[in-house]
Amino acid sequence: MVSSADAPANSINRNLVSTDSVGPIVFVWDNFGPMHVDRCEAVAEHFTSRRAVIGIELSAVSDVYQWTPSKIVGFRKITLFPELSFERSTLWRCFNRLLKTCLSQSRADYFFCHYERPEIYLTAVILRLLGRRVFVMNDSKLDDKPRMIWREMAKSIAFWPYCGALVSGKRAKEYMEFLHFAESRTVSGYDTLSLRRIRALAETDPAPGGWPFETRHFTVVARMVPKKNIPIVLEAYAIYATSVANPRPLHLCGSGELEAALRKQVVNLNLQGLIIFRGFIQSEEIAKTLAQTLVLILMSVEEQFGLAVIEAHAMGVPVIFSAACGARDELLRTAVNGFLVEADNPAGLAYFMRLIATNEVLWRRLAQGALQAAPRGDVSRFVDAVELLSSMTGRC
């Protein structure tokens, strides 16, 4: 069941063994959002009665996202701190609860996110010393930010407990190999979503079907923080808006520390009524919004992957994106399902906004390209990667 998009992992096939009569697969994240539920449910559906799936969230509350709890089907979810966020819990309390919960799962394989947290690291070390198999889930890339050699050396130590890595794509895989993970134990497929769920929530056909071309708007789905580079998007939109008679609206879906400054920028650019601030919206509303979207814009200066790209492709929506976007390696192709623009180039972004907004033939071709790329972002790739890693033989 290995994805063709992950060809280097094929060499692991000769090391596969039966997973019958073994313990559960345990996933650990700080807080469960829709993407985490997608992955656990897909793994549980794949393994059915062969292996149980357990999802551990450190807290029921996120300090970053305001997700509403998702319905859980097919796997067991354990919340360590139902009453407060993980960030407000003490290191010792979290370590104690996490370790006890993990040790209670006999013969399990463990998949951990947040390797940099002391609680996670200590738990992973003890599990490894006890002979348990622990894998890291990570989507960082070498080019995310300036790197210092001493910090990278420390990361190599932090990754010692892990038998392998589940990463998001080509650059993330190369980064983990730079940190001394074996190529054969570094598998892509981490950042994925359920296309089936997204399309069911949208309740309409993906583009180029569904909503008419002439009624669609531009969309940004991103937190309002510096690395998302939304001020450049507003500059580009102002250029676009002066170049056409009836500019399409731009919907900003997200919240964050820069919201007040962005609202002020909209006023200064005289774009009131054209820029729609939607705030933080849940998965269902995101799917419905993308169903009405002409093109998704992702101009981040730092973007480990960009899950909104998968949501857009699920609904046949092309993407205008920056080179920082990790999804570029796995999903995006210039002039096939979108366009690449430098993150500091508002004039270039405005050009492609106008080009797509005024050329229905081009838009339909890009939408078809987005639909064709969508399966590469489906959660089935996560299942493939988990099966490969959890079925490895030999020493870590």
172-227 pLDDT, tens digit each: 999 999 998 999 999 999 999 999 999 999 999 999 999 999 999 999 999 999 99
**Domain shared by 251 and 338, yes or no:** yes
**Domain shared by 154 and 205, yes or no:** no
Residue 24 and residue 108 in contact, taking contact as beta carbons nearer than 8 Å: yes
Q: Residue 21 pLDDT > 60, yes or no?
A: no
255, part of any domain: yes
Q: What percent of the chain has pLDDT over 70?
A: 92
Q: CB under 8 Å to 151, separation ≥6 — which residues?
A: none
257, part of any domain: yes
pLDDT for 394: 63
**Domain shared by 177 and 255, yes or no:** no
Mean pLDDT of 363-392: 97
396, part of any domain: no
Structural domain total, the chain: 2
* Whole-prediction pTM: 0.91
**Cα–Cα distance, 45 to 173 (Å, whole number):** 26
Mean pLDDT of 101-120: 94
Q: Residue 82 pLDDT > 50, yes or no?
A: yes
**Domain shared by 141 and 276, yes or no:** no
pLDDT for 299: 98
**Domain shared by 123 and 216, yes or no:** no
**Domain shared by 187 and 148, yes or no:** yes
pLDDT for 215: 98
47: which DSSP letter? H
**Cα–Cα distance, 71 to 77 (Å, whole number):** 10
Which residues share a beta bridge with 29?
57
- Tokens found for residue 204: 């309409």
**Domain shared by 165 and 22, yes or no:** yes
Q: Residue 66 pLDDT > 70, yes or no?
A: yes
Task: Tell me the residue range of the domain where 20 lies.
Answer: 4-192+379-390
Return the minimum-mean-pLDDT range out of 78-92, 105-119, 318-332: 78-92
15, part of any domain: yes
- Tokens found for residue 89: 């819990």
395, part of any domain: no
**Domain shared by 386 and 320, yes or no:** no
CATH number at residue 386: 3.40.50.2000
**Domain shared by 120 and 255, yes or no:** no
Q: Residue 121 pLDDT > 70, yes or no?
A: yes
**Domain shared by 38 and 120, yes or no:** yes
- At residue 85 the predicted structure's pLDDT band, cuts being 50, 70 and 90, is low
pLDDT for 90: 79
27, part of any domain: yes
